[in-house]
Amino acid sequence: MATYVFGHTNPDSDSIVGAISLAYLKNQICEECIPTRQGEISPETKFILEKFGFEVPELKTSYAGEDVYIIDYSDLAQAPKDILEANIKGIVDHHKLGDITTSAPLECWIRPIGCSNTVVKEMFDYYDVEIPKNLAGAMMCAILSDTVIFKSPTCTKVDTKAVKELASIAGIEDYKALGMEMFLVKSALEGATARELTTRDYKNFDMGGKKVGIGQLEVVDLSVFDDKKEMLFEDLKALKDENANHTVMLLLTDIIEEGSQLLVVSDDESLVEEAFGVKLQNSQVWLPKVLSRKKQVVPFLEKAFK
């Protein structure tokens, strides 16, 4: 029986490419695995898959009774509803340890670095498995995406080393130029609905018993949102009500200016103000140097919501 490999709900490039790269590695060491996904892919992920010749993994949202590896998360809020009915064989991640538990021993590769695909690269090295040229290119792009082309505070020397080695395998000389091309695709919002934007890279968290949703859109120029903020706020309010959240927020991240405009819809905005030591104006605020949800947003919110 094959084992399924998949990332979190509302998958980003790291989750999708990570499922593909981890499944490939497992297949090379004689463990049959199939990459899958929990949701629709983003324009950036589509760009990566098309550039390096990969099919979009199968959409699968139920895993009861299946053997699985999960990648790029370990929180129940980001898992399939029946994840605890699956046999979790392993976790590969670069986030905080979440609340998923297992009844049997499992393989864990969890590292405090910038991207899950960097962890997978280390696994390839550990097992001495050669990485195909096209897979190396896709993994490299996933790392550049998660580390915001090395600008994110989550980026480590391990990530930069992995990118350089993967670029060499893929035959890509100017990987930063490719990274910027990728972010330009990510910045293209034409034709996207408000819900597609608010949930393009969106995660739910349990913080002190309260459900908190945090989305992030990374662009090269925040002016693309000048005529969209009202629409985004309306959808955040709808998203909050639909999912019975205490708080829903959206980070509009400018990778050139290196900061994020935070939009907030909450039952108690003072908790968000306390978390970041700011005063919201019209339910929003500019957070300079904030690029990482994982390192610069979630830990501070969790402390405030305790």
Encode pLDDT of 158-211 as tens digits. Answer: 999 999 999 999 999 999 999 999 999 988 888 899 999 999 999 999 999 999
Q: Encoding tokens for residue 286?
A: 């500019």
Output DSSP code: residue 77: G
Q: Angle at which helices 13-28 and 43-52 pack, to 10 degrees?
A: 40
Question: Distance between CA 96 and CA 119 in Å, rounded?
Answer: 14
Reported confidence tier of residue 63, pLDDT bands at 50, 70, 90: very high
> Which one, of 300, 298, 301, lies nearest residue 96 by Cα?
298
Contact 185, 44 (CB under 8 A): yes
Please tell me the predicted confidence (pLDDT) of residue 188: 84
Torsion of CA 121, 55, 149, 250, to 10 degrees: -120
pLDDT for res 52: 98
Query: pTM, whole model, 2 decimals?
Result: 0.88
Strand-pair category, 284-288 with 202-207:
unpaired
Q: Is the pLDDT of residue 76 over 90?
A: yes
pLDDT, residue 190, reads 84
pLDDT at 297: 97
Q: What's the pLDDT at 115?
A: 98
Using CA atoms, how far apart are residues 263 and 214, in angstroms rounded to an integer? Answer: 10
Domains, the chain: 3-184 (3.90.1640.10), 194-305 (3.10.310.20)
Helix (H) or strand (E) holding 49: helix 43-52
